[in-house]
Amino acid sequence: MEKKERIGVYVCHCGTNIAGVVNVGEVSTWAAENLKEQGVVISRDYKFMCSSLGQELIQKDIKEHGLTRVVVAACSPHLHEQTFRNACKGADLNPYLCELVSIREQSSWVHTDKVAATEKSKALIAGGVARVVHHEPLEPLRVPIHPATLVVGGGIAGIQAALEIANAGYPVYLVEREPSIGGHMAQFDKTFPTLDCSACILTPKMVEAGSHPNITLLTYSEVEKVDGYVGNFVVTVRKRARSVNEELCTGCGICWEKCPKKVVDNVFEAGMGTRKAIYVPFPQAVPKYPVIDRENCTYYIKGTCKACEKFCPTNAIDFAQEDQILNIEVGNIILATGYELFDARRITQYGYGRLANVFTSLEFERLSNAAGPTGGNIVLRDGKTTPKVVGIVHCVGSRDKNYNEYCSAICCMQSLKFAHLVHERTGAEVYNFYIDIRTPAKGYEEFYHRLLEEGTHFIRGKVAEITDAVRLPGEEGKLIVQVEDTLTGNQLRVPVDMVILSAGLEPRRDAKEVAKKFGISCSADGWLIERHPKLDPVATVTEGIYIAGCVQGPKDIPASVAQGAAAAARILGKIQQKEIALEPVRASINQEQCSGCRICNNLCPFNAILFHEDRMVSEVNPALCQGCGTCVAACPAGAISGTGFSNEQILSQIEGLLLLNIPKKETVA
Amino acid sequence: MTDTPETQPFDKAQGESFEPVIIGFTCNWCSYRAADMAGTARMKYAPNVRLIRLMCSGRLDPTFVLKAFAGGADAVLISGCHPGDCHYINQNYKMLRRFHLLKRVLQQMGIEPERLKLLWASAAEGAIFAEEINKFVEQVRPLGPLNWKPGNGAHVEAPVHEEVPA
Amino acid sequence: MSKPKFAMYWAASCGGCEIAVLNIHEKILDVDANFEVVFWPVAMDAKYKDVEAMEDGAILLTLFNGGIRNDENEHMAKLLRKKSQILVAFGSCACEGCIPGLANFSPIQQVVDTAFGTISTDNPNNVRPQTSYEMPEGAIHIPTLLPVLKTLDQVVDVDYYMPGCPPESHQIAAVIDLVIQVLQGKAQLPPKGSVIGAGGSTVCDECPRKRNVKTIKEFGRIQLTEADPELCLLEQGIPCNGPATRSGCGAKCPSAGAQCIGCYGPAEGVVDYGARLIAAFGSVIDADKPEDIERILDGLVDPAGQFYRFNLAGSLLRAAKPAWKSGD
Amino acid sequence: MSETISFRQEVANLLYASEGEPLNTCIQCGTCSGTCPVAPYMDYTPRQIIAMINQGMKEQVLESNTFWYCASCYHCTVRCPQDINITDLMYALKRYSIWKGQHKEGLIGPTFSEAFVKMIVRTGRSFEPVLAPSYIFSFGMRELLLEVQGATELLLKGRLPLLPSRIKRLDNFKRMLGRIIPMGGLE
Amino acid sequence: MKKEFAYFPGCSLEKMAISYHMSAIETTKKLGVHLKELEDWNCCGATTYSYIDELLAYTLSARNLAIAEQTGLDVVAPCSACYKNMYFTAAHLKKDPDLAEHINFALEEDNLHFTGSVGVKHLIEVFAYDIGPEELKSKVVKPLTGLRIAPYYGCQIVRPQKDHEDVELPQFFEEILSAIGATPVNYPLKMRCCGGSLIISSRPAALSMVRNLLQCAVDSQADVVATACPMCQVNLEVYQQQVNQEFGTNFSVPIMYFTQLIGLALGIPQKKLGIGKEFVAATPALLRLEQAGAAPDQETKE
């Protein structure tokens, strides 16, 4: 018989949180008497195990009684597992030889029957004791961290993150799919609630990012592949051919002036305006170099034209330029790929795409933007008529189980902003149709009050439909917004000239593929999932990958900036430690037992399992393994084992929970 | 030689007061946190389920379920993150596939399908978790005790020796 | 000094194990040279009472094949345990129940009814065996069936396990060699409880077929499929138990174009053989929606039979519920 | 538990097979009422009815004409952002008020429904002429005249049956319905 | 293409909507589709039955479904209310085994059992999907060129069934009308309810709904409103006079079954399609069509 473990059991009262329901004294005594065979040499109960006195008690026992394993029956391991591990470490016991049993969240707080809760607590402890016997001392895995960071997405969140890291003195690669950084914020006219000019506050940041010595800007580029693991990622980036030599181009603008081919700009101008086949998306674009849109360029289609080349003063046009594939080494990655606007066509009864004067929010942003296609004139689709009555519909595609169940967070404030701009610039009557007005940030509620004072109409009711079918006098030639004013219970038909649909935010269409590429997860909605919704909002479950801005969920500019900075701060902290300790919960494959059947090869979403063709065996890369244990469960030969959650640990825990191998005493009445 | 265990796994009063013993498996990220949440919110549910925390429902080895049944559990609960929400991208699907196969095998073994339950619960779904546990307990209760003859498998259980009459 | 004593006994088994022993050819002479065979019902005449008369531990080595189906098997298992220094569970039946163990899916009464009462049985008077019968010459007794078939180690302590249905003859020869070497002081016995005469990996290790990453879109039956002779059978949707089955047989079946059915039992350290296959097959099914998963599984005929063909009695559950229930 | 169940639960219990989210998930957005073609004729809009049910205002709800005006067009149901099956809710309220014999005075709906159901129980099929007298005598001459006007013309166009159609296995049919609820109340 | 369906005409088609019945049979016959009438069907319960008892309502539909199942064919209903009742009864029963058990217990009295294998279709779906506009177009002998038709979907063909297609703005009716050469007009109220189930119980509401629909048809310059439901047809047509009395309007809009229109395009004689039984005569509109050169009433030898 191998050496018998010496186990200490510690039952916490948690004040009355546990002791009020579970008879902790009885549980403790029971463990001491009945679990001797399993190795329990001491069992105590104490008022607050997590207090420093409680911890000292454990540490003292470890030393005096030579404990080799510790079981603490207290709260959820998510709360205090680390506390008790540290306590063990303090007494020179490997922290992974401690097991926490939750008799608070799983017993005292959820049960009212004291006897049953006490009996259940005993079983849970028996399970913990049976399990802890099979714990092994573990050491965290240490890997060095590459100081460079990749930021994917050049919107405001990505720009902020890149600047923070670059300013701290570390290299950053900022990858953006479009020809310029700036993101959605560059499209806006004003920002709420201060009505700052969006371009005026964004442009300096773009310029700083574009000229920062520590930032390598990779626009018109996309990440194709991510290999490696935290501290040591190797990222493949495709830098698409701009057809413009960046060394020679001065951004003078003659080329796009001379280009004869006009194209409807569905990206930056939201379809409201045009650009040329060679273009920069907007005048303040960073970098300043244009790109040739090869799908629309006459030269690429017909082989003639070359107007741009002819007029370029620096010979920068390069029709033969090819995509470049770059391999970048980075230690950490921030995903800030932003959002997409909900496609308002999906709500057929709102008429977008069918009724000319129904606009989306992004269209309206361009319409009201002084640099936009109408020079900031708010006019109907005919390009000249100023609307007299405007209806703004909130929650388009949001808070609706038929589309997206979540609240898009920015639409209320955006709608108020629109109402203000319409009112200010056209003097039109404005109706806001809303379900609830949500203005929870600084200065937002005040802005709402300002709108109320401006005389904007607020009708509480989700719009049922928008129609041009006239029924009543006064409706001719108008769009009729049909809605219940829920505050009076009246069904209204409000005739308006223009409708603005405050469309919600949606994850990027390719969010799922992006998540897969970077080995992180996305919610059913498609937003990328943070490690913890409250306490770890910018990290992800994959070490070294962070998220910032709307890619994580709908949010406004200040929140995106804050997340960008937060992600940067997290990464800077890691970089400065120079190496990272990884949780030692890992799978490993016994090379003798592995037959190379390759069942496991396809199971790891983190690509941690590699197959050696030569030896016909599979192997786990411990740095990539995230410890989920799926391969352990799947291995038909039982050749894969997982530390921290081994078969022996769990099978023994089952035996313990079922009170097998425990001598039966008299039943508690 | 007898198969009657010296220790009954639990006090199983027969008849109306039968309280099924249920072993539950949760993943660390969603369903265990749902249980935590039920606790934090002081939601009440039946005390019949004893949970085991795995890192991921993908870790669920069918052996664990068989072990629980063989060891005297009356039912087994398996829970994990909602499909599409797995902390490890998609490992819960792998559990789901095994679950369907396991269910078929258990049925052939004569174990009523009602004794095995799959529950998706997110970290926010404490209420659902509690409610589903109650439902499950009520679903198992009418089936009565399973009382599987304990046996830990050929290679594990130490056999009992008896005098052989000559 | 007399030679060490050797015994071999068959309980509930088909006799294939004895044939396998004889199949070691001239090596059998080594057995004769090194051992005194004291008890081997298939090969020599000996009576139970001869064994009963021996001193405890008088036999050095007993190869015990067959599962424990009735009280006679049980009695002999206990008797031989007592008389033997080394008791080997020989062959799949003794190790894990094997084909006779499949009876554990059904209540014993049903097994008897099937044997004596189905249409294919020539039993016009519906005669059923009695365990005890009065004849003019006196009462005769035949053994009583146990409610479920047990493996040898569910009845007595076992020193070594030698898997296979039957164990491969070359493996038997190797084991005999080893024991002889131990007798001559040239080698040491492996630790008690070891599996002998088999490999440490699984059948795939010895299988010559080419293997790729696995995703199963559809299960098929080998007799209805035209399988690629070079490629892993499981990848082709044919439920091959090779990945979970202990190596040692030389991958005879998959080499010959048939899927492994698992006679060498689980690999080292595995608690439940069937669970390994449920997990492995389940993990690589190429579907995420319950209905798609179910559709693919519909192609897997009789999964419990597939996974527990040799291992039911030795599995965690040992028997289906109706089988053990009937024994209550 | 001996607690009396809330009106909301009573209504929920009446929706035996209907899918859709429970009423307490209503966010009072008014999509249903904005959509409803009959809302202007209702005492309370459908949204208000849901709020009133959630508040337990049983008497007021049952006395309202709202659910009797529902035309079962399901337009609200497909638009409801919370997936509440509002149309089926209106059915449930009709059933409830008929069972309790509690509905607004002067409504034709309840009487008509009972007449219709009785007819089907008797014949297995619907037969328009039988419907007319069954309610007209309770609701006055104006309706009768309006109906007769249409009916006469239908008759002239050969579109009104003179004899009711009956299904063949009527006995089975009646016994079948009898297995669901006792027919005493209807026949 | 499926050639045979179980046909559940429903009570209205026995007499009140006899022309729908006639035209449905004639057109499908012409297109090689066989509608096999259900043996001994009963009333679907309309909307009214659900007012009294939900389970009784399911039982009524379940009986018809069980009878249809015996034929092994999908069941087709020309009436939207019948269709909706059967469709949802089948869906609920398939989804809820307890409910199915309960209802099947009742069906035993008529030696019937519902297993859930039967599919339920609206008649217009047979034309829109099983036959399809292409096939239909190829069989047209007298295209209704120039005839402006308002496709009136009404409520229950696409509602509340959500997986069918766009519940707000479907196009299949338009496609059918285009296939027979007519001009489907943009009819914004095509999905609005006609108030059919209110015409007896809440007449003022129903009449105003009818008025809106007729007004909208007039505004969109429709010659004819096409319907796919006997309730809608009767409601829009029989009560047109009352609408005129009540609101001082002067509507005279013919309301025709889509099958009648298809029948005309297929060259089936008007009489066989039940044309002439309508209150608002379709003849003037058809006459205009004839004058425009399409000559719909030239009988073809069969």
DSSP A501-545: EEE-EEE-TTHHHHHHHHT--B-TTSPBPPSBTTTBSSB-SSTTE
Chains A+D touching (3+ CB pairs under 8 Å):
yes
The pLDDT score that the predictor gives to residue E164 is 61
**What would the 3-class secondary structure string for chain C be?**
CCCCEEEEEECECCCHHHHHHHCCCCHHHHHHHHCEEEECCCCCCCCHHHHHHCCCCCEEEEEEECEEEEHHHHHHHHHHHHHEEEEEEECHHHHHCCHHHHHHHCCHHHHHHHHHHCCCCCCCCCCCCCCEEEECCEEEECCCEEEEEECHHHCCCCCEEECCCCCCHHHHHHHHHHHHHHHCCCCCCCCCCCECCCCCCEHHHHCCCECCCCCECCCCCHHHCCCCCCECCHHHCCCCCHHHEECCCCCHHHHCCCCCCCCCCECCCCCCHHHHHHHHHHHCECCCCHHHHHHHHCCCCCHHHHHCCCCCCCCCCCCCHHHHHHCC
Task: Tell me the CA distances in angstroms from A141 to A507, A621, A640, A649, D78, one per residue in order.
Answer: 35, 12, 19, 21, 54
Look up residue A382 and give its amino acid: D
Is the model's pLDDT at E295 over the cut of 80? no
- C280–A636 C-beta distance less than 8 A: yes
Distance in Å, alpha carbon of B56 to nearest chain A alpha carbon: 5
Strand partners, C67: C12
Task: Name the least confident of A434-438, D156-160, E115-119, E209-213.
Answer: D156-160
From CA D154, how far away is CA B126, in angstroms rounded? 62
CB count in 10 Å sphere of residue D2: 3
Q: Of E50, E54, E279, which is closest to D153 when you measure between CB atoms?
A: E279
Per CB-CB distance under 8 Å, the chain C contacts of A593 are 200-202, 267-269
Q: Tell me the mean pLDDT in the region A455-480.
A: 94
- B104–C297 C-beta distance less than 8 A: yes
Per CB-CB distance under 8 Å, the chain C contacts of B151 are 154, 316-318
Which among C210, C211, C231, C277 is the top mutation candidate for probing chain A, defined by the most A β-carbons within 10 Å of its own β-carbon? C211
Per CB-CB distance under 8 Å, the chain D contacts of E63 are 173, 176
- A471–E168 C-beta distance less than 8 A: no
The pLDDT score that the predictor gives to residue E47 is 65
- A399–D34 C-beta distance less than 8 A: no
Does the domain at E3-123 match CATH 3.90.550.10? Answer given as no
On whether the CB atoms of residues A447 and A439 are closer than 8 A, the answer is: yes
pTM here? 0.72
From CA D8, how far away is CA C79, in angstroms rounded? 73
For A496-514, give one letter per residue: b (16+ CB within 10 A) or e. Answer: bbbbbbbbbbbbbeebeeb
Residue E47 touches partner A, C-beta closer than 8 Å: no
Cis amide bond preceding A287, omega within 30: yes
- B7–A663 C-beta distance less than 8 A: yes
CB within 8 Å of A127: residues ≥ 6 apart: A101, A653, A654, A656, A657, B50, B52
Confidence band (pLDDT; 50, 70, 90) for B14?
very low
Per CB-CB distance under 8 Å, the chain D contacts of E58 are 17
- A469–E219 C-beta distance less than 8 A: yes
Residue C66 shares a structural domain with residue C151 = yes
On whether the CB atoms of residues C101 and C313 are closer than 8 A, the answer is: yes
Is the model's pLDDT at B166 over the cut of 80? no
Which among B92, B95, B155, B163 is the top mutation candidate for probing chain C, defined by the most C β-carbons within 10 Å of its own β-carbon? B155
Q: Tell me the mean pLDDT in the region A259-271.
A: 94
Q: Which helix (H) or strand (E) holds E248?
A: none
From CA A90, how far away is CA A97, in angstroms rounded? 13
From CA C162, how far away is CA C147, in angstroms rounded? 25
Residue B4 touches partner C, C-beta closer than 8 Å: no
Closest by CA to B67, choosing from B89, B52, B86, B85, is: B52
Confidence band (pLDDT; 50, 70, 90) for B6?
very low
Distance in Å, alpha carbon of A461 to nearest chain D alpha carbon: 5
The pLDDT score that the predictor gives to residue E283 is 77
Residue A624 touches partner C, C-beta closer than 8 Å: no
Q: Which helix (H) or strand (E) holds A190?
A: strand A190-191
Residue D120 touches partner E, C-beta closer than 8 Å: yes
Residue C77 shares a structural domain with residue C102 = yes
Residue C58 shares a structural domain with residue C102 = yes
Residue B12 touches partner A, C-beta closer than 8 Å: no
Q: Is residue C40 one of the residues assigned to a domain?
A: yes
The pLDDT score that the predictor gives to residue D155 is 66
**Of 3.30.465.10, 3.10.110.10, 3.40.50.300, 3.40.50.11810, which CATH number belongs to E140-291?**
3.40.50.11810
Chains D+E touching (3+ CB pairs under 8 Å):
yes
Residue B38 touches partner C, C-beta closer than 8 Å: no
The pLDDT score that the predictor gives to residue B10 is 44
Where are the domain boundaries for CATH 3.40.50.11810 in chain E?
140-291
CATH annotation of B19-151? 3.40.50
- Percent of chain B scored above 90 by pLDDT? 64
What does pLDDT average to over chain E? 87
Residue D72 touches partner A, C-beta closer than 8 Å: no
CB count in 10 Å sphere of residue E87: 23
Residues of chain C with pLDDT under 50: 328
Ordered by start, the domain boundaries in chain D are 7-100, 109-178
Per CB-CB distance under 8 Å, the chain D contacts of E96 are 17
Strand partners, A619: A610
- Structural domains in chain A, CATH included, are 7-138+649-657 (3.40.50), 143-240+324-338+508-582 (3.50.50.60), 248-322 (no CATH), 340-506 (3.50.50.60), 585-642 (3.30.70.20)
Residue C268 touches partner B, C-beta closer than 8 Å: no
Q: Of D14, D73, D128, which is closest to E16 when you measure between CB atoms?
A: D128
Q: How many CB pairs under 8 A join A and B?
A: 160
Residue C151 shares a structural domain with residue C250 = no
From CA A258, how far away is CA A312, in angstroms rounded? 9
Number of domains into which chain C is organized: 2
List all chains that touch chain A, counting a touch as 3 or more CB pairs closer than 8 Å: B, C, D, E
Q: Is residue C305 one of the residues assigned to a domain?
A: no
From CA A18, how far away is CA A128, in angstroms rounded? 17
The pLDDT score that the predictor gives to residue C204 is 96
Confidence band (pLDDT; 50, 70, 90) for E51?
low
Q: DSSP E strands: which ranges in A342-442?
A: 358-360, 389-396, 429-434
From CA E235, how far away is CA E255, in angstroms rounded? 10
Per CB-CB distance under 8 Å, the chain D contacts of E45 are 120
From CA A464, how far away is CA A461, in angstroms rounded? 9
Is the model's pLDDT at D135 over the cut of 70? no
Look up residue A496 and give its amino acid: V
pLDDT greater at residue A663 or residue A177: A177
Confidence band (pLDDT; 50, 70, 90) for D143?
low
Chains B+E touching (3+ CB pairs under 8 Å):
no
Confidence band (pLDDT; 50, 70, 90) for A667?
very low
Q: What is the residue range of C321's domain?
A: 1-198+316-328
Is the model's pLDDT at D157 over the cut of 80? no
Q: Of D40, D78, D80, which is closest to A491 when you measure between CB atoms?
A: D40
Task: Tell me the CA distances in angstroms from E200 to A389, C328, D110, D141, one per residue in order.
Answer: 40, 69, 11, 14
Chains C+D touching (3+ CB pairs under 8 Å):
no
Residue A236 touches partner C, C-beta closer than 8 Å: no
- C283–A601 C-beta distance less than 8 A: no
Q: Of C275, C294, C323, which is closest to B61 when you measure between CB atoms?
A: C275
Residue C130 shares a structural domain with residue C250 = no
List all chains that touch chain E, counting a touch as 3 or more CB pairs closer than 8 Å: A, D
pLDDT greater at residue C129 or residue A431: A431
Q: Is residue C308 one of the residues assigned to a domain?
A: no
- B108–C321 C-beta distance less than 8 A: no
Look up residue D167 and give its amino acid: I
Q: Tell me the mean pLDDT in the region A32-57.
A: 95
